[in-house]
């Protein structure tokens, strides 16, 4: 188009709009308010960091001081709270628990769904259409409606009779990992992606004598790296924050992921500053993950939001 450069990146306000002094004034006003808004997004975190350095009664003391200036001992910043939180909560162990859980869930989230999505996308038959419909139906049912039978199923697997809540199956970890495989959303995301892969690519491979599995593993999977990356990040972040279902199925404290452990810790008789300190420590990994993967995360959200 002729004027592509001129219209590029332009939206409600145009360049000539911005020349108007009134508009410029409001623009900067809005900008400053937005920045202040972002800072308020950071305030709870900052408050947590500061207050974890105070003795407990100073957190709720009045008048409150922003910097950790405890009434009892001026200018004494209790760094010990963080150390105590680290020790008492035994972060390394529970981080490890969470990582193991996340890996298991990631595997079951991605691979069965990729296979099913590929099958639905490439093998158009009555069977695969029926399966697609059945998968889709599960999206209509909220997890909460089936969580009780799911609990009972997990307690006594059909045909195998295994109790996934027992310690030998990771004290409930398998009970979180296995049901993660029933993820219809991922299946349809993969299907949409695989639909875009040209058939000729696979036909060529087939003529060259490759079997279906070989085609999938050698050709399709490397092509899908971007979509696998996005879904993996969602999966891992989901596991990290997951609270409800693990709380129901994981009864052995030894295997708890970090969120369960923090919740129990906050209920135990510890000083509030230490609890705060532990919470702050727990926010560091998600923030780091987010900063590293922000582009994929933003792309993934737009993807999932715009498929409507």
Residue 214 to residue 232: CA distance in whole angstroms: 23
- 78 touches 68 (CB < 8 A): yes
- 257 touches 98 (CB < 8 A): yes
Positions 90 through 109 that interact with other proteins (CB under 8 A): 108
CB of 125 to other proteins, least distance (A): 7
CB of 212 to other proteins, least distance (A): 4
Residue 124 to residue 120: CA distance in whole angstroms: 7
Residue 114 to residue 125: CA distance in whole angstroms: 18
Query: Which residue of 72, 79, 211, 226 would you call a contact of other proteins, by CB under 8 A?
Result: 211
Query: Which residue of 91, 94, 106, 118 would you call a contact of other proteins, by CB under 8 A?
Result: 118
217 makes contact with other proteins (CB under 8 A): no
In the shown chain, the binding pattern of residues 263 to 302 toward other proteins, with x for contact by CB under 8 A and - for none, equals x--x-----x--xx--x--xx--xx-xx---x--xx--xx
Stretch that binds other proteins, among 68-76, 79-87, 117-125, 193-201 (CB under 8 A): 117-125
Nearest to 97 by CA among 296, 266, 254: 254
Side-chain-side CA neighbours of 94 within 13 Å: the count stands at 25
Q: Which is nearer to other proteins, 93 or 299 (CB)?
A: 299
Query: Which residue of 24, 35, 201, 218 would you call a contact of other proteins, by CB under 8 A?
Result: 35
Q: Which is nearer to other proteins, 76 or 238 (CB)?
A: 238
Q: Which is nearer to other proteins, 103 or 297 (CB)?
A: 297
21 makes contact with other proteins (CB under 8 A): no
- 122 touches 196 (CB < 8 A): no
Q: Which is nearer to other proteins, 10 or 254 (CB)?
A: 10
Nearest to 60 by CA among 265, 276, 280, 281: 276
111 makes contact with other proteins (CB under 8 A): yes
CB of 243 to other proteins, least distance (A): 5
Stretch that binds other proteins, among 13-21, 67-75, 85-93, 221-229 (CB under 8 A): 13-21
Q: Cβ atoms within 10 A of the Cβ of 257, count?
A: 27
Q: Which is nearer to other proteins, 79 or 263 (CB)?
A: 263
249 makes contact with other proteins (CB under 8 A): no
Residues that bind other proteins (rule: CB under 8 A) add up to a total of 106
Residue 32 to residues 25, 29, 187, 289, Cα–Cα distance (Å): 11, 5, 43, 28
Query: Which residue of 70, 170, 171, 179 would you call a contact of other proteins, by CB under 8 A?
Result: 179
44 makes contact with other proteins (CB under 8 A): yes
Query: Which residue of 5, 16, 225, 269 would you call a contact of other proteins, by CB under 8 A?
Result: 16
CB of 253 to other proteins, least distance (A): 16
3 state SS for 218-270: HHHHHHCHHHHHHHHHHHHHHHHHCCHHHHHHCCCHHHCCHHHHHHHHHHCCC
Nearest to 53 by CA among 72, 68, 63, 74: 68
Query: Which residue of 147, 210, 219, 270 would you call a contact of other proteins, by CB under 8 A?
Result: 147
Q: Which long-range contacts (CB under 8 A, 24 or more apart) does 193-199 make?
A: 193/117, 193/224, 193/227, 194/117, 194/118, 194/121, 194/122, 194/220, 194/224, 195/121, 197/223, 199/122
221 makes contact with other proteins (CB under 8 A): no
């Amino acid at each position: 188009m002729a004027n592509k450069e001129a219209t590029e990146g332009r939206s409600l306000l145009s360049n000539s709009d911005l020349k108007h002094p009134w508009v410029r004034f409001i623009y900067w006003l809005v900008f400053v308010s937005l920045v202040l808004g972002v800072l308020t997004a950071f305030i709870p975190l900052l408050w947590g960091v500061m207050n974890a350095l105070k003795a407990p009664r100073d957190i709720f003391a009045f008048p409150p001081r922003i910097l950790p200036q405890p009434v009892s001992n001026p200018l004494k910043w209790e760094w010990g709270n963080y150390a105590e939180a680290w020790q008492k909560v035994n972060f390394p162990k529970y981080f490890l628990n969470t990582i193991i859980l996340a890996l298991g869930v990631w595997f079951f989230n991605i691979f069965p769904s990729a296979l099913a999505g590929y099958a639905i996308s490439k093998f158009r038959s009555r069977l695969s259409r029926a399966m697609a419909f059945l998968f889709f139906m599960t999206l209509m049912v909220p997890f909460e409606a089936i969580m009780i039978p799911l609990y009972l199923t997990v307690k006594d697997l059909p045909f195998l009779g295994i109790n996934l809540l027992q310690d030998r199956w990771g004290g409930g970890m398998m009970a979180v990992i296995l049901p993660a495989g029933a993820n219809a959303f991922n299946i349809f995301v993969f299907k949409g992606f695989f639909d875009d892969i040209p058939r000729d690519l696979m036909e060529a491979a087939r003529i060259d004598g490759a079997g279906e599995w070989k085609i999938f593993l050698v050709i399709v999977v490397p092509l899908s790296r971007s979509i696998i990356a996005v879904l993996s990040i969602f999966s891992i972040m989901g596991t990290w924050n997951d609270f409800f279902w693990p709380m129901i199925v994981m009864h052995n404290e030894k295997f708890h992921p970090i969120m369960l452990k923090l919740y129990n810790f906050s209920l135990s008789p510890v000083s509030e500053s230490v609890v705060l300190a532990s919470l702050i420590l727990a926010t560091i990994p998600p923030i780091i993950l987010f900063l590293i993967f922000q582009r994929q995360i933003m792309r993934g959200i737009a993807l999932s939001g715009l498929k409507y």
